[in-house]
Amino acid sequence: MSFSPLIRQLIDALRILPGVGQKTAQRTALHLLERNRSGALRLAEALEQAMQGVGYCERCRSLSEQPICNLCLDPRRDDNLLCVVEGPLDVQAVEQSGYRGRYFVLRGHLSPLDGLGPESIGIPELLERLEKGAFSELILATNPTVEGEATAHYIAQLLIQKDLLISRIAHGVPLGGELELIDGSTLSHALAGRKPLNPLD
Amino acid sequence: MSFSPLIRQLIDALRILPGVGQKTAQRTALHLLERNRSGALRLAEALEQAMQGVGYCERCRSLSEQPICNLCLDPRRDDNLLCVVEGPLDVQAVEQSGYRGRYFVLRGHLSPLDGLGPESIGIPELLERLEKGAFSELILATNPTVEGEATAHYIAQLLIQKDLLISRIAHGVPLGGELELIDGSTLSHALAGRKPLNPLD
């Protein structure tokens, strides 16, 4: 026995989810059919509404339902700071740090082998955003990976002539880790970036 | 910044999928929005069609789009054998063994602590099916777990008076495994079920 056409179609469709292979798709499809049909219908509706209703903020390029997102509209944020990240989830992460400036969201990082050049990831839009704003500092918060570093350096070089402080987030040992588990490159960054410790502070 | 309402709704809806927690739901939602909107819309449609179009076969209780499933309608199958399994995926598994009789699909196994008694898992329908058919053997292929064994024994006891051969699938060492990795109970089943080996066969 093979599955009936509608179940097969559902299994195929579920495979677009990241990390879902054939077996997981089968189990998920039958789980939904047997245990949670109302949840599955809600999911179908949520998918459709989100795909049709969510676009990109014209200013920061993050996902947004309005032309300009709430974060860009918020008048209490610092208009001097612009933080560049690789994706919308990174905005969430940086927010948790207490940062309260503006953002610009790239569409990933430079990756020439995958055909992703400056235009594909939104560098022209970033330059445009810098023209329109009056920022005093640009914080490059791309991922601490080879591609993220390369993207940060590329942007820094592009803007070298501008009257703008360009900074990169610090590399070092993450809080809560154990030194013996940390790789050599991270540790050499941590040593090079060492700071005087004043016990009276 | 928190996510916009439609994205939040999508993240919540994705959490009904088995094994998907908050973080995975967030990543999945943003992945679909940024990388695969057409796939997400296809998934929405497939979910809706399957949830509305797939019901249960009146005869074997497996998932089916027609009142009677293809497997029950197939005239080439052996009408003497009825194999009882816990779910539709088990039908697929038993099919791979080359079995070509009929099936009856329970809705899981007996689990009194979860309030799943004989009625909830479809034992009355199984008895009805046995009345209507002319089976000579009932093969209990519930899972080799404590609950699956209990369910098999419960069914066997119910039918003890009937003129029907009742069998349970064999327990033993699975093919391809290594003996040192197999647990003691399985091995004791394998020893108790040992068979004479005729080198001339």
Domains of chain A by start residue, with CATH: 1-32 (no CATH), 80-168 (3.40.1360.10)
Cβ distance of A47 and B33 shorter than 8 Å: no
> For position B1, what pLDDT does the model report?
46
Report d(CA B128, CA B163) in Å as an integer: 15
A interface test, pick of B15, B32, B54, B109 with most A CB neighbours within 10 Å: B54
Confirm if A99 and A83 have CB atoms less than 8 A apart. Answer: yes
**Predicted ipTM?**
0.79
Contact B91 A33 (CB under 8 A): no
Residue in chain A closest to B26 (alpha carbons) equals: A89
Beta bridge partners of A81: A137
How many beta carbons lie within 10 A of that of residue A90, not counting itself? 20
Average pLDDT over residues B65-73: 93
Report chain B's terminal Cα–Cα distance, integer Å. Answer: 73
**pLDDT recorded at residue B190:** 83
Contact A87, A119 (CB under 8 A): no
Task: Determine contact, residues A184/A191, Cβ cutoff 8 Å.
Answer: no
**Distance (Å, whole) CA A91 – CA A105:** 8
Residue A2 has pLDDT above 80, yes or no: no
pLDDT one-digit tens code per residue, A132-170? 989 999 999 999 999 999 999 999 999 988 889 999 998
Give the pLDDT score at A175. 84
Mean pLDDT score, A59-85: 94
Lowest mean pLDDT among A157-161, A194-198, B119-123, B126-130: A194-198
CA–CA separation, B120 vs B133, rounded Å?
22
List CB contacts (< 8 A) between A107 and chain B: 34
How many beta carbons lie within 10 A of that of residue B14, not counting itself?
22
CB contact under 8 A, B50 and A39: no
Query: Do the Cβ atoms of A65 and B26 come within 8 Å?
Result: no
Pairing state between β A165-168 and B55-56: unpaired
